């Protein structure tokens, strides 16, 4: 019991991870709650902010690479499907085509159940894949590694 309290206190004191910065967007990673008992659920979060004049495609947009969170296979974790907000309609001037995109800050969440861990922490890894565009050009798709560390009490 005492060790669980100590782990929870240490996790509460950990500094927030520095956001991941790419040429197209910024990604802040968090988990809630920061610690769970084995068999407990935690929500993984990615708060994504496109850079000025950039957008990424939302799931459901045909013909383009939509943003996607994929967790690495891990027998100690059971993952639900990732949840994405509704995309906003955007008319691409160069193509005169309406698309579903994220041009403003948005959040992707994914619930996971932590079944087992080695020690008092569980690291959950994955990737964020997206294709970003501005009003004139679409950039090459990018895959960014992401990871969360959750306390296990």
Tens-digit pLDDT profile for residues 85-133: 999 998 877 778 889 999 999 999 999 999 988 789 999 999 999 999 9
Per CATH, domain 2-152 is 3.90.226.10: no
Q: What's the pTM?
A: 0.86
Q: Nearest-CA neighbor of 126 among 7, 50, 31, 15?
A: 31
**Percentage, residues of the chain above pLDDT 90:** 72
Domain borders along the chain are 2-152
Per-residue confidence band for 16, with pLDDT thresholds at 50, 70 and 90: low
| Angstrom distance (rounded) from CA 130 to CA 141 | 6
Helix, strand, coil distribution of the chain in percent, nearest 5:
10, 50, 40
For 73, the token pair is 């296979």
Q: What angle do CA 139, 141, 146 make, to 5 degrees?
A: 125
């Amino acid at each position: 019991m005492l060790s669980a309290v100590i782990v929870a206190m240490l996790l509460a004191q950990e500094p927030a991870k520095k956001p991941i910065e790419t040429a197209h967007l910024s990604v802040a990673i968090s988990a809630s709650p920061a610690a769970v008992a084995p068999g407990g659920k935690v929500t993984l979060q990615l708060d994504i902010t496109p850079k000025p004049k950039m957008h990424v495609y939302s799931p459901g947009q045909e013909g383009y690479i939509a943003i996607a969170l994929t967790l690495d296979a891990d027998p100690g974790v059971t993952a639900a499907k990732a949840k994405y907000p509704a995309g906003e309609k955007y008319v691409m001037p160069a193509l005169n085509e309406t698309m579903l995109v994220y041009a403003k800050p948005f959040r992707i969440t994914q619930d996971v159940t932590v079944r087992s861990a080695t020690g008092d922490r569980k690291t959950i890894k994955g990737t964020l894949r997206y294709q970003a565009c501005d009003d004139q050009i679409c950039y090459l798709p990018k895959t960014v590694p992401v990871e969360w560390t959750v306390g296990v009490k």
